[in-house]
Structures are given as C-alpha cells and as structure tokens.
Structure 1
Amino acid sequence: MGRLLNYAFLIKLGFKVKKGRLINPSSVFYTNRDKYYEMLSRADSLRSDDLLSWCEYFLLGLKNEIEKIDSLLDKSYVEKEILFPLLKIAHDQKFITTEERKILEYLVSKDDMMMKSEELSHMGITDSRKKASTMAKLRDKKMIQPIVPNGRIYTIHFVNNYLLRGIMNVLQQKGFVSDFLNTK
C-alpha cells in the first residue's frame, strides 16, 4: 500500500511514472531490504520523528535514483564509464576481436553513434570487399544494425549476448542494478 501511495504522490507532483516508469520508487526499497523493513517498521509507529525518518529515507533514495538516471542520460558518462569498459572486458575475455573492439569504440565515440562502411578506412580497412565483409560479420554477430532495414548506415546493437551481459555487469559494478536482481 505504501508503494502505491508513493507512486500516487509522485504522479501528483508531476513525475511521469506512468509513461515508461523512468523513476521507480521501488528500487529505493530493493537496494537494502533490511533498511527498508527497519524504516517501514519505524513509520508504522506513526510518531512524527519516525514518519520524518521514513520521508528522509525515501527522499534520499529517490534522489539517488534520479542521480543514476541523470548519469545514464549523459552520453559522456555512458561512453567512458559503461560502454568503453564493456568493450574492454569483451575484448579481454576474447568475446570480440581487436578489430571489432576498434570499430565499436569508434562507433561509440561518434556523437550520433552511426557509421557507414566507408568509415572503416579510418581504421586501415581500405578494400571495399573487406569493408563489406567486416560490416556483414558485425551485423551477423548482432553487434551493429542498420538504422533502417537494409540501410547502409549502422549503429551499435547490444543484442549480442556477450555485449548485453557485459553491459549488465558494468551497470551492476557501478551500482545501477539492485542487489535483488542478483541470482547468485
């Protein structure tokens, strides 16, 4: 019931929790379940100081979630703290080749994160057949995808199991994935 009231309160204040649920108050509670139950138990007393403690606890958690969202909306942060480390891990574990890493890092570092096969010449691949085969291999491995079906402009694609798992690992290391999602 408390979570439902928290959602209602956020909606009343103008937060768009219905559309896409960008802010998830429940993530505050899942970060540390013991602390959540302790604070909830205190609030059940209905004493003013305990209710104030609950509000401070909840608002601090919400502030932390908003800061995480802000970080994930900052391309520079995502690039340096999530995507480049992900590609390094994938390369170190030999899930991607050195050439694939260079191409994906090039793609990530571009403002629009889009490229044509012609741009492979920046990485020393000048033969048109080699460019086509390199792009086809990346596409087949689900590391890139065309912006439009059958198009010639590509962007990075994280459906590849190794890249997706790598993102989840980096996000977990950075504190973006709540402990309750761990199945260890």
Structure 2
Amino acid sequence: MDKYRLPSVDFDSPLVELSFELERFRGNLGLGTTRPQLIIELHSLFQILSSVISARIEGNRTTVYDAIRGPSGDDEQQSEAQREINNLLAAMRLIDELPPEAPLTHSLVREFHRMTVDGLTREGDPTPGSYRVVDVEILNSAHTPPSHVYVHSEMSDFLEFANRPLPAHQQMIHVAIAHHRFLWIHPFRNGNGRVSRLVTYFMIRRNGFVSPVGLRTVNPTAVFGNDRDEYYASLEAADDLSNSGTVLWCTFFARGVHDDLERLTKLQDAEYLSREVLAPTIQRMRESGILNTAESKALQIVFDQGVVKAGDLEDAFPGGPSARSVAIRAMVERGLLQRADAGPRFYTASLHNPVIGPFLVRRFNELGFLPPMLQNDKLE
C-alpha cells in the first residue's frame, strides 16, 4: 500500500469544498489594511498561543496568560512546563527565519526535536535530536510504529513526500497527510507530537500562507486545540492507511485550518482590528487601573499610526517636550511602549508583552478566536 498516495475524493465531498475555500483565503492574505507592524506583533502573540496549545495537548497545564508573562523575576530556575513552551517558541522562530522555499531535511527534523526536548525531564528524550534506536508503542493506540531498524528509511520516504511539489489545490491535503504519516512512523522515543506540529507549521508556511512581511498570524497548531479527543480519533482513523480513514483525517485538518483562517483574516481589516479588538482592550486596561486617561489615548494613537515620534503623542500628553518625554519613558519602562527600529525617538506598541498581551488574549477569547482548549484559562 502506497502510504503517500493522495486519497480519492468524490467531487461533492466536504474536503473538495474546503480545499477551494482555503485557496480563496490564501489569495486574500496580505490584501487587508492592517499595518505590517501590527501583523508582526499579532504573529508573535499567536505563536505564544500555538506553543501553549502544542504543549497542552501533551498535558502541560501552563495557562496562556502565564506563558505571556513568563517566569517571575524571583524564580531561581525556569519551570519545566514553561521551558517546554519556550522550547517550542524557539523552534517556531527558527522556522520563521528560514527561507519559505527551504526543503525539509533529516537534519532539520532532528533539530526541531533537539530544540523541543532540550532540558526537559518528564517530556524530554534520552537522545535529543536523534531518531529512536528502540521499538516503541503508542499509549492508548492500536497502531504499532515501524521497527527502529526502518526509521531512517521510512523518514527518507517521508521527506521525499513532504518536499514533493504539488498543485495549489492539493497542498493542504499534502500537509495533512504529512502530519499523520510522521506520527505513524513515530521517529523519536518522545516528542513526536510536538515535532509533527512544527513540521506541519513548516510545510503550511512554505505553501504560501504568508503575509507580505513574511509572517503569518495563523498557525495550524490551533486546529489541534479545537478538540483534543477528536484530533486523536481522526488521526487513529487514518492509521490503517485506508482511503476512507485518510479522507476523514484530511477533512478534520482542512476544516480546522479553514475555520481558523476565517477568523484570523478579519484581523487584516484595520477598522475591525481597531474597533473590535484594540479599542476594547484599551478600555478594559483603563477600567482595571493599568492605564490612566492620558496613557489610554497615547496607546490608541500608537495603535492607529503603528510607529510614532514623541511629538505625535502631544494630544495625549499636552505638556511641553520635557513632560512628554517623562510620560513616554514611563510607558516604555512598564512595557506599554517599545522603541521602534526607525530610530531612538520612535515608538511602537508590543502586543505580546506581559502587560498588554493578557488583556488582548482575553478579548480574543470573547470574540471566539481561541480554541476550546484555551477558553477556560483564567486571567488573574
């Protein structure tokens, strides 16, 4: 049986309809009015969400709010749960830095694994960055992965498939099959789920789901956070490599990516982002005592303009230049503003910092942007 043959699908299958819809979304990426700086900041925030989801699937209970805040300053050492999330963030940054056309290789997959399990005990691996040299079983699964003797050759076949050029309308199915077949091989003793989601992120990025600034706000890991049980059940349905099981898995995957893109492409609309997300976030921060009236106005100006000079904040801080500099410095020290690349006297806002980020995530939750897996996290 050719495990890498694309499944046969009836024309009226939901998978066909989803494939067409995904192509429409891909064509619309980058056509919005949201400033590139905000796209970059949103990308950074959603990468944190994705790392929490990937770790949560494996049992990590760190909340998204704790992940944004990071370990407190008096922590003698980073907790293993937080380190697992930071490892995933580092691997995602590596992927973002790679050319989109870069091929997937043995060494790259092994590096994903090394980074993922680095410094971990409970969720670590005795041989980081190396394929397994023992046979394994998957807990609560009827599937038995191939013997370790065949792992390298199985992975060679997998990489040939993962790097295979396919027409645009088949690419999401291509990514879905690759995700399952990687887990079917189970090339590492531990960390396979986390690495498979990184591989999926790598492939979907390479397949053109990128913004003009080279970054995406969507990460397919969010798909797997919608329903952990359904995720595993859909994967298991494809373990026999049958056409029907593969179609079921691909449909689950494509529907999740479709729903996520449908929500997230709204963020390309600057008016929607300002009205439904940023303005309510500022209002809630003011009500919580995080911002005073002047700071609220200043932050709104920065959100509207993207990058500002001190003089652009005169309406918020109407005193002289000296008083304005003091107020801006205070906002920078609290993490409300950060210095922009344009120069030392230019400022922008960070959406994923420990001050603004938790309030922004809370607003996204109210709008239905978070997968169910994260919806019970509490903002203290």
TM-score normalised by length of structure 1 = 0.75
Deviation at 1:157, TM superposition (A): 2.8
The reply on whether 1:54 has 2:54 as its aligned counterpart is: no
Q: Distance in 1 between matches of 2:272 and 2:304?
A: 12
Structure 1 pair 118/26, CA: closer, same or farther in 2 (3 Å)?
closer
The reply on whether 1:157 has 2:359 as its aligned counterpart is: no
Q: Distance in 1 between matches of 2:326 and 2:294?
A: 13
Deviation at 1:100, TM superposition (A): 0.4
Q: Deviations over 1:115-157 (max 9, x none)?
A: 2222233346042222122112112212112214971121113
Deviation at 1:13, TM superposition (A): 10
Q: Distance in 2 between matches of 1:123 and 1:22?
A: 30
Q: Percent identity?
A: 23
2:207 aligned residue: 15
Q: Secondary structure, in 3 states, of the residue corresponding to 1:132?
A: helix
Aligned residues: 180
Q: Secondary structure, in 3 states, of the residue corresponding to 1:154?
A: strand
Structure 1 pair 84/51, CA: closer, same or farther in 2 (3 Å)?
same
Aligned AA (1:114): V
Q: Is the 8 A contact 1:71 1:77 kept in 2?
A: yes
Give ranges in structure 2 of 5+ residues lacking alignment. Answer: 1-178, 184-195
Q: Paired residue for 1:130, among 302, 323, 329? A: 323
Q: Is the 8 A contact 2:294 2:317 kept in 1?
A: no
Q: Secondary structure, in 3 states, of the residue corresponding to 2:225?
A: helix
Deviates more, 1:21-30 or 1:90-99: 21-30
Q: Distance in 1 between matches of 2:328 and 2:256?
A: 43
Q: Is the 8 A contact 1:117 1:132 kept in 2?
A: yes
Aligned CA RMSD, in angstroms, stands at: 3.4
1:84 aligned residue: 279
Deviates more, 1:62-71 or 1:43-52: 43-52
Q: Is the 8 A contact 2:332 2:338 kept in 1?
A: yes
The reply on whether 1:166 has 2:344 as its aligned counterpart is: no
Deviation at 1:73, TM superposition (A): 3.9
2:258 aligned residue: 63
Give ranges in structure 1 of 5+ residues lacking alignment. Answer: none
Q: Secondary structure, in 3 states, of the residue corresponding to 2:315?
A: helix
Q: Which has the larger helix fraction?
A: 1
Q: Is the 8 A contact 2:335 2:355 kept in 1?
A: no
2:182 aligned residue: 4
1:147 aligned residue: 340
Q: Deviations over 1:8-67 (max 9, x none)?
A: 7x83995168x9786543322221112223433444566655543333222111212333
